[in-house]
Amino acid sequence: MLDFAHNARSAAHSDAGVQALLDTGIRGVHASMRPHFGAWDGQWPKDLTRLREQYFATDDQLLTLRVAALATDEIAGPELAYGPELAQVAADLGVGVSVDAVFGASGSQAVRAWERDGLLSPDVTLIHCNGLDADAWRAVAATGTTISTAPTSEAQIGLENAVPAVDEALAVGIRPGLSIDVEVALASDMSTQMRALLAIQRMRAVERAHGSGEQAPPRIGVQDVLDFATTDGARTNGLGEVTGSLSAGKQADVLVVDARAVNTMPANDPVGTLVLSADARNIQGVLVAGTPRKWAGELLGVDVRALHDEVVASRDAVLARAGR
C-alpha cells in the first residue's frame, strides 16, 4: 500500500505517518509531500534526507520511501509541481516519484515537458491520467513510466472526464496499477476497484460500437483487473521484484480467501471468484513477508475496540478544532 502523505506539516507529522505504517506490519510505501495549504514548518523536501536515513536505510525492509508531487502548479503552486528540482531530490535519495493530479490539457503539457527534460522513467508513477492527449500517452509509453488509475475516485468525484484511462493505457502497451485515492470518502478495498474498472471499461467498449456497425474495442477480463491490483500495482509502487505475485524469489505476501462462504461458493473459477464474488469479509488470513497479520478472520495483535475508540476520539477532536 502506498500512502500518498501530502500533509507533512512538520517532521513530527512525517514521523507519525511512518510509525503508523510500521505499527501495522504492512508492506507499505510512504510517499512524502508537504501540505497543499495552511501553516507548516517549511521542512520539506529537505527533511526527506532525515526520513531516508532514519526509517529507510535499506531497500530490503517492509517500508520504502518515495517523493510525492503534483503534476502542475495549478493546485498548490510551483514548489509541489514535479520538475527538475524534485526529480533531483528523488535521484539523490535513490527513490521513486509518485505524481498526482495528472490529467487534461495541463497534464498533457507537463508530460511533454518531463519527457523533454528526461524526467520520465520506470521510477516515476503518474496517477489518474484522465484526458491526456495522444502525444502525452506516447511519451509515457516510450519512457517506461508507470501509471495508476483510481476507478471509483475518477468516476465518482468526476476527475477531468471521469473515465478511468485504462483503454488509453492499454492502447500504448501500459498495464496500469489500481489505487483508492480518497479512502475517507470511497470504498477502500481492491475488490471494489477491480469490479468498478471491469464494469466501466466493458460498458465503454460496448457503448462505442453500439449502433455504429463497428466492431467493439477489446474488453478486459477478470484476469486483467486482478493483475492490475496485484502484479501491476506492485510494479507501479517500485516493488515489482519484491511482491505482487507468488513467484520464486519474491516475498511471501499472501491473502488467504475463504472460497466456501455463501458469496464465493462453489468457486468454479478461482480468478472469477476473487474478482466478481469475494470481498474484504472473505479474507481469512494475511501474511506479510511470511508473518501472519490476520488469521481465522481476526487481526492479530490489534485491540479493535480500543482502535475504534481512538479513531472516534481523533475524529471528534478534528471536528472540535473546526468548530463543528
Count the domains in the chain: 2
In single-letter form, the type of residue at position 83 comes to G
Domain limit, last residue, from 229, 245, 261: 245
User: Does residue 253 carry a pLDDT above 90?
Assistant: yes
pLDDT at position 321: 93
Instruction: For the sheet with 291-295, list strands across it.
Output: 254-257, 283-288, 291-295, 298-299
| Percent of the chain whose pLDDT exceeds 70 | 100
Domain region containing 289: 252-324
Domain limit, last residue, from 212, 245, 278: 245
Q: Are 303 and 174 members of one domain? A: no
Q: Are 208 and 188 members of one domain? A: yes
pLDDT at position 299: 95
Q: Are 267 and 288 members of one domain? A: yes
User: Does residue 202 carry a pLDDT above 80?
Assistant: yes
Q: Are 217 and 259 members of one domain? A: no
pLDDT at position 20: 94
pLDDT at position 185: 87
User: Does residue 210 carry a pLDDT above 90?
Assistant: no
Q: Are 283 and 169 members of one domain? A: no
Q: Are 178 and 273 members of one domain? A: no
Q: Average pLDDT, stretch 212-230?
A: 90
CATH code of 304's domain: 2.30.40.10
243's grid cell = 511482491
Q: Are 216 and 93 members of one domain? A: yes
Q: Are 46 and 64 members of one domain? A: yes
Q: How confident is the model at residue 324 (pLDDT cuts 50, 70, 90)?
A: confident
Q: Are 63 and 157 members of one domain? A: yes
229: left (phi over 0), alpha (psi -120 to 50) or beta: alpha
pLDDT at position 209: 82
Q: Average pLDDT, stretch 19-30?
A: 95
Provide the 10 A C-beta neighbour count for residue 194.
24
Domain limit, last residue, from 245, 261, 283: 245
Helix then strand then coil, % of the chain, to nearest 5 = 40, 15, 40
- Please spell the DSSP secondary structure of 211-227, one letter per residue: TT-SPPPP---HHHHHH
Q: How confident is the model at residue 65 (pLDDT cuts 50, 70, 90)?
A: very high
Rounded to two decimals, the pTM is 0.94
CATH code of 212's domain: 3.20.20.140
Q: Are 106 and 205 members of one domain? A: yes
Contact 73/43 with Cβ under 8 angstroms? no
pLDDT at position 54: 97
Q: Are 118 and 261 members of one domain? A: no
Q: Are 263 and 206 members of one domain? A: no
**307 HSE (CA, 13 A, CB side):** 9
